Amino acid sequence: MGWILGLLALALTVYVFDRVSSLWKAFRSLNFLPGSWHLFDSYSLVAALFPPIPLVNPGNNHHFEDKHAPFAEAGCDIISIISLIPVTTTNIMLSDAEAINEVTSARARFPKPIDQYEVLSLYGQNIVASEGEQWKRFRKISAPAFSDDNNKLVWEEAARAMSDLFEEWKSEDVISVKHGTEITMPITLQVIGAVAFGTRLSWKDPTVPPGHRMTFRNSLRIMCEDLWLKLFLPERVLRLTKKLNNIQTAFEELQTHVKELIDERVRSEKEPRDDIFSTLIDANAAVDSESVNFADQDLISNIYIILLAGHETTAHTLCMSFALLALYPEEQDKLLKQVKAIMPNGKLPPYEDLSKFSYSMAILYETMRLFPPTPNVPKMSVEDTTLTTRTANGEKLIVPVPKGTKISLNIAALHYNPRYWENPHSFKPARFLKNEWNRDAFIPFSAGARACLGRRFAEAESVVVLSLLILKYRISITEDPKFSGETLEQRRERVLKMRNSLTLTPVQVPLTFTRRA
């Protein structure tokens, strides 16, 4: 027995020595760049399922929760994070606008680590979870779907969705919801349904169509909310409980609904349409002779990504915009004043007047600065190279980046970096009314060639929703006796609490909408 314990002790000693040696080599390869180390990587299953533990697990939301604090502590806007299990992983995080711009501009040197985007490839390959020639092929087909004609349709359908909402609320002067997403999710779903598929959805839950087990709306909602469970759990486990079984059913039903829509549109008579779905199919057919078209499964996967990006991220951003306006009523008054000036008769002007809504856009931008939908964008280095930053003392620092190094574009830290933003933790929409704000330090839609194609889509939709809602209703935080003794700061902390799901997600935003006299 003694010799067995001796062997185990020896094996443990060798393992520990190997890990310590590996950690030392990793720090040395980065020229001992300031930073931290953990047992598990922030992209691991451990990080996804368990809370943060110092030196063990950074957690999957540390980019947003820590914001710029680790960089300030290190005195440098590029820092290291090294993990040891299952293998030693060298990762550097960036909150330096110039360094981030270099990474996003040099796609060949710093491509996406495709394995980290597996969660978005459940239905097949798509424009977000691809790189190189495949990404170029997908982008060539997808880009025409995001035209100015389509953005005009977004503007009109967002106005229609708000008109439907006001019709639902016409019999009440005060409406309270437990969570702001109860309002924003249906709004964005209505808009994406009309703009992406040319299909108008109602506020009322539709019946399940013949031959289906779930509606299109519910299947999309579940696949947005519970995507991580679908990724990590095998199908046999997803059949064990009703909730888990609903996730598997939603996955299958969403694919079936989208496939039926594709088949129906391909068979239907050709007529001019501006919706994304038709444009995508037409663009796919137009390049067929060049052999760069989508496979059927790729088309389904890319449509799913458009649904996900055009539905969930915008809904969460709008929810947080409502929360901030409720918490800062003086900003709500400023927004109302401009909207009234633009719309004295209460009628929304045409899409061409979007630029007039400067304060609505400023509210949107400041919300996305404080709560970037994707707080972190992963990249990797495919060659030995360097990046340059400056220390807190202003000294130039050249950081070695060995081949294979993981790179995190820490958008949350960039958005809270005091080098670029005065009082970065404060909600100050007016900062975006000035011309001198740093465009490279604001990248909620990412940056470079991989920047979001739907940026103008989201901006147009959000401006319409914010402007029309604020014109008719005052937004406030719903009073709750449980929190009667909380301070204003405690209320802000409670209402603005976020979690990291597929994107940055509000936990619970209780809102009350009061009709204006």
Extract the annotated binding site for heme.
452
The number of helices, as runs of H, and strands, as runs of E, in the chain is 20, 12
Say how far apart CA 374 and CA 159 lie, in whole Å: 27
Q: Residues, the chain, total?
A: 517
Question: Which residues are registered as beta bridge partners of 76?
Answer: 391
Helix axes 216-225, 296-308, angle to 10 degrees: 70
Say how far apart CA 453 and CA 279 lie, in whole Å: 14
Say how far apart CA 123 and CA 255 lie, in whole Å: 8
Say how far apart CA 386 and CA 382 lie, in whole Å: 12
Output the CA–CA distances (angstroms, integers) from residue 330 to 43, 336, 337, 427, 509, in the order listed. 40, 10, 11, 11, 19
Output the CA–CA distances (angstroms, integers) from residue 252 to 150, 258, 294, in the order listed. 29, 10, 20
Q: For residue 227, what are its two tokens?
A: 């995507």
Say how far apart CA 71 and CA 418 lie, in whole Å: 11
Q: Is 450 helix (H, G, I), strand (E, B) or coil?
A: helix
Say how far apart CA 89 and CA 261 lie, in whole Å: 43
Say how far apart CA 151 and CA 355 lie, in whole Å: 13
Find out whether 348 and 161 touch, Cβ atoms under 8 Å: no
| AA identity, residue 505 | T
Output the CA–CA distances (angstroms, integers) from residue 105 to 7, 244, 388, in the order listed. 52, 41, 15
Alpha helices, H only, 309-404 = 314-327, 329-342, 358-370
Binding residues: 452
Say how far apart CA 186 and CA 192 lie, in whole Å: 10
Strand 78-85 vs strand 35-40: parallel, antiparallel, or unpaired? parallel
